[in-house]
Structure 1
Amino acid sequence: MQFPDELKPEINQIHSVRSDDKVIKTNSPELAKNNYGENFQLHLLEEYKIYVEMMDRNSARRGQINAFYTTLLSAILTLIFTSIEKSILPIDKLFLLLLSALLGIFLCFVWIININSYKQLSSLKFKVIHEMEKYLPYPCYAREWQILKEEKKNIQYWRLTQVEKYVPLILAVPYLFLLIYSLIQLFNRYFTKI
C-alpha cells in the first residue's frame, strides 16, 4: 500500500497498548494486540471513532483560523483607508500606514506559521489513523489515499495546504505596497529637505 510521503507509516514503530493500567511497549503490532486482551477490537474501534472526530474538529478549527485571519487582515485594510480618508485618528497618516503595514505583514507571517502547524498536526493524526486502521476490517483513509495516488494521472488534485498557503501571501501584497509607499514618503519627508 502506497501513501503520500508525509503520511507513510514508519517502519519498526513502537506500539503501545494499555493492559490493566499498564502501558505495554513493543515493536510488534500483533504482540501488542495479544497483550491487550479480549476487548482490544472494541476499545480500538471506540478510540478510532474519537480520533477521527478529533481529526474532523482539527480541520474545522483550521478553517475557522483561516476565516479569522482573512477577516482581520481585510478589516485592518478597511480601517486604514477609512481612518485616513476621514482623519479619525490623531496620528500622522504616514506613521499610521507604516504601523498598519508592519502589523499586516506580521499577521500574514503568523498565519503562515499556523497553516504549517495545522499541516503537521493533520499529517501526524493521519499517521495514527493509518496505524489504527491496520486492526480494523477496512482501512478507509488509507484506501482513499491509495485511490487518489492511482488516479493522480487523470485528475489534478491540490492539497488544501498547497492552496491555503498562498492566501496569506496574496493578502500580504497590499501591506507590502503600503510599507514601501510609507517608507518612501517618510524618507522624502525627512531626508530630502536637507
Structure 2
Amino acid sequence: MAEISEAVWNEDVTESDYGVEKATYHAAVFEQYKLCVEMADRVSARRNLANTFFLTLHSGLVAFLGAWLSQSQHSRISVLLLLAGLLMLLALCTAWWFTLSSYRQLNDGKFQVIGALEERLPARAFHRAEWEALGRGRDWRVYLPLTHVERWIPVIFASAYLLGFIALAV
C-alpha cells in the first residue's frame, strides 16, 4: 500500500500551492476521491453487464443446443462436429473467465488508489472501515465477495458442456 500511496501523491504539489487556505487543497483531494469512487462503481456496473451478456449468451446456446439435439438423431452427429462445438463453447467460457479476472484486477487497483486518497481524508470509511466491518471477506458467513462466486460460473458452464458432450459422444 505504501508504494501505491507514493504513486498517488504529487511531490511537487502541496497544500501551500493552493494558497493560504488548506480548505482548497482538501476540497481538490476530496473531488478526486469522489471521482475515483464513481469510476470504481462504473467498473462494477460494466462487470455486471459483462456477466449479463455472457449468462444470456450461454443460456441461449444451451436452449438452442437442447432444441437442436432433441430433434436430430444422435448417431448422425459426428464426433468432429461435437468437438468443434465443444471447443467454441469452452472458448466462450474462457473469455468470460478472463473478462471477470480483468475487471477484478482493475477494481483492485482502483480500490488501492481510493485507499491511498483516504489517507488524506478525515475518515477511511470506504476502503478500510467497510472492509474491516465485512471481515475482509475471510468468513463467508459475514461477507462473501461476489468475485469469489462469479468466477465459478464460467467453470460450471464449461464443466456442464464437457459432461454433456462426453455423454453425446459415447
Superposition TM-score tier, normalisation by shorter sequence: 0.7 to 0.9
Which residue type is aligned with residue 33 of structure 1? T
The answer to whether the aligner puts 1:146 opposite 2:132 as a matched pair is yes
Is this contact kept in 2: 1:98–1:178, CA < 8 A? no
Pairs within 5 Å for 1:37-186: 37-38=18-19, 39-86=24-71, 93-94=77-78, 95-141=80-126, 142-149=128-135, 155-182=141-168, 184=169
**CA–CA separation in structure 2 for the residues paired with 1:37 and 1:49:** 19
SS of the residue 1:126 aligns to? helix
Report which of the two has the higher share of helix.
Answer: 2
The one-character-per-residue Cα deviations of 1:83-121 (angstroms, maximum 9, x if unpaired) are 33345xxxx633543332221111111111111111111
Q: Compare CA radii of gyration and give the structure with the larger one.
A: 1
**CA–CA separation in structure 2 for the residues paired with 1:115 and 1:76:** 20
The one-character-per-residue Cα deviations of 1:32-82 (angstroms, maximum 9, x if unpaired) are 533642432121111111111111111111111111111111111111222
Q: Indicate the RMSD between aligned Cα atoms, in angstroms.
A: 2.8
SS of the residue 2:14 aligns to? helix
Is this contact kept in 1: 2:137–2:143, CA < 8 A? no
Is this contact kept in 2: 1:102–1:175, CA < 8 A? no
Which residue type is aligned with residue 49 of structure 1? K
- 1:62–1:154: structure 2 CA closer, same or farther, 3 Å change rule? closer
- 1:160–1:98: structure 2 CA closer, same or farther, 3 Å change rule? same
Aligned length: 161
Output the TM-score relative to the length of structure 1.
0.70
1:14 alignment counterpart: 6
**Structure 2: where are the runs of 5+ without partners?**
none
